[in-house]
Amino acid sequence: MTEREFWTHLEYLACGELERIQASRELGLWCDGFVPESFAVDGHPPRITGQAWVADHTYQWRWPFTLRLRRRYESRADVPWAEVLPAPDETGWLDVDVDAKSITLVPPPSRPLAGSRSSP
């Protein structure tokens, strides 16, 4: 999977997650795309930030987003995009703050974050 394909797939998966979240469902929100701007893939924590196009039935806004990665990578070219993408049946990986107008995407609960420890 290419990086470009990743962002397109993530957009569609985010729409499904927004539909599952009561606060965004009540407002009729959906995602109309992601515009990544900063790649701190070797950071602590590793992350990608940018703007998400969030829409309702009347308007579109650009909300800041943070995509937390499961682990660090040497460079953007080293990110295995297919592995970063949530599976279609995974839930709980998108957090929307309708008051702050921001989105945080985290690895699904079944996948640990970089640097975190699994329970025995």
For the chain, the domains span 3-105
pTM of this structure: 0.86
Asked if 111 contacts 87 with a C-beta cutoff of 8 angstroms, the reply is no
Residue 119 confidence (pLDDT): 42
Mean local confidence (pLDDT), 48-72? 95
CA 52 vs CA 18, 34, 78, 110, 117: distances in Å: 13, 4, 23, 24, 30
Upstream peptide bond of 45 is cis (omega within 30 degrees of 0)? yes
Residue among 64, 70, 68 nearest 39 (CA): 68
Tell me the per-residue pLDDT of 3-50, one tens digit each, with 9 for 90 and over: 999 999 999 999 999 999 998 989 999 999 999 999 999 999 999 999
Among all chains, which residue has been given the structure tokens 């995974």? Answer: 90
Asked if 108 contacts 90 with a C-beta cutoff of 8 angstroms, the reply is yes
Q: Say whether pLDDT at 89 is over 80.
A: yes
Among all chains, which residue has been given the structure tokens 């080293």? Answer: 78
- Average pLDDT of the chain? 89
Q: Categorize the per-residue pLDDT at 57 as very low, low, confident or very high, splitting at 50, 70 and 90.
A: confident
Residue 41 confidence (pLDDT): 95
